[in-house]
Amino acid sequence: MRTVIVNGDALSVQDVIDVAGGEARAELGPGVPERMAASRQVVADALAGDAAVYGVNTGFGALADTRVGEQDLRRLQGAIVLSHAAGVGEPLDDATVRAVLLLRARTLAAGYSGVRHDLPQRLLRFLELGLLPVVPGKGSVGASGDLAQLAHLAQPLIGAGRLRGPGDGPQGRPAGEVLGEYGIEPLQLAPKEGLSLVNGTEPMQALLAFSVHDAGLLVRAADVACALSVEALLGHARPYDERVQALRPHPGQLESAANLRALLAGSALMASHRESRHAVQDAYCLRCAPQVHGAVRDVLGYARGVLKIELGSVVDNPVIADDGEVMITGNFHGEPLAFAADMLAMGHQLGLHAGPVHRGVAGQREQGARPSGQRGHHPHLREAGRSRVHGLDRRAQAARGDRERPHLPGRGDPLRGAGHRPAVRHRPAERRDGRRARGGAGPGGQDGRGPGGGRADRRR
């Protein structure tokens, strides 16, 4: 089993997937305590000074300008964790919690938060022992960070909340009880540590990482399904020819078309009718696959790029800059992840689930069974080679698309104006996969209040 070294440097999507799935372990890298000590000293100096430094010796939100007495600072750190641990709903699954433990440890290990190395070390210790905080799936604050989920993640560090050990049910047991069984003493949080534990976007990062990984598998599977459909329907590979694809060189489209050419190369079925004139032009659902699948690939590429940046970012507030100044920031805000997740969810729903191949092949099977191999509408609906109901058919499809997916933009829906009638009626699109990582692609709740789903918090 490989080991992922957590030293504050960027992680890869595969690192997250492997640790979340138990295919890799994680450990704190050498030199991390020394790196973190520098910013921790800045916090200590601020505590000894006279200036009000937000998050270090002040209150939060409306009390940001109010100095907090030294005797109350430690109690305040535990209070911010406990007060924000107000999530509801079913707990996040083991893989998601494992990913968030890894990602939160990486952020703190970067050395910009002014906390002790004990925090990321304890998070990774939980990961090693299989002790997973019970983190409710709903109750966070929109794209404005994942306060609720991170607070539940942090509670067991101080002996509060619930932990799920090996063999425990989804709701786990009181954290103090589980820690006692493993001989682990709860931590006493120092000034600023409570705030650093709850600020961030790691739950959104984890869910988007899962979605990006799975979407990468789906776009390849979609091309395979298209290639199989082309063979089964005795179609042509001409629409995927490099000469025509180069005339509209969107990167995803070129990649999908090249994949289809490779999949169909050497096909005996294709060779059997290559010179046949049984169809001048294949159905829309086959010809447009690279354009639709390619658009999904482009959206996936955008989401992957956003995630790559995020997996190496510091998402705390305040942070200690390299020159030692304590800086106020809004890096805890998850809007870049939210947009990427929403776009990826739309790409899955519109480009793959409701795309031309998915909806059109059943109709093509139906048409192929008609007398004399006649394509399109039945002869009694034809006049001078043109369907009498062609326009009405398109209008009905557009109306149906508006009814079934009112929460998605119409211009991206291949059903609206596709010019073909699917043989199977689909249920109205649900928000389950489209509203999880703050309206993104991943677990979290249909009401948009999963990790990254809810109202903005004024305590920032």
- Which residue spans within 292-397 are E strands per DSSP? 319-320, 326-327, 382-383, 386-387
| 422 Rama class: left (phi>0) / alpha (psi -120 to 50) / beta | beta
From residue 11, give the alpha-carbon distance in Å to each of 90, 110, 145, 214, 301.
28, 12, 20, 18, 17
Say if CB 24 and CB 5 are below 8 A apart.
no
Three-state DSSP state, 126 = helix
- CA distance linking residue 266 with residue 208, whole number of Å: 37
What is the C-alpha separation between 84 and 357, in angstroms, rounded?
46
Backbone angles phi and psi of 350, in degrees to 5: -90, -35
**What counts of helices (H) and strands (E) characterise the chain?**
17, 11
CA distance 337 to 228: 35
- Reading the block at residue 458, the tokens are 């004024």
Containing H/E element for 4? Answer: strand 2-6
**CB-based burial label for 56 (10 Å; 0-12, 13-18, 19+):** buried
Written as one string, the DSSP assignment of 291-311 is: HHHHHHHHHHHHHHHHHHHHT
Residue 68 is classified by DSSP as -
The string of DSSP codes covering 220-248 is HHHHHHHHHHHHHTT--SGGG-HHHHTTS
112 is catalytic: no
Q: In b/e form, how buried is each residue of 221-236, taking b as 16+ CB within 10 angstroms? A: ebbebbbebbbebbbb
36 DSSP 8-state letter:
H
Residue positions annotated with a catalytic role: 54
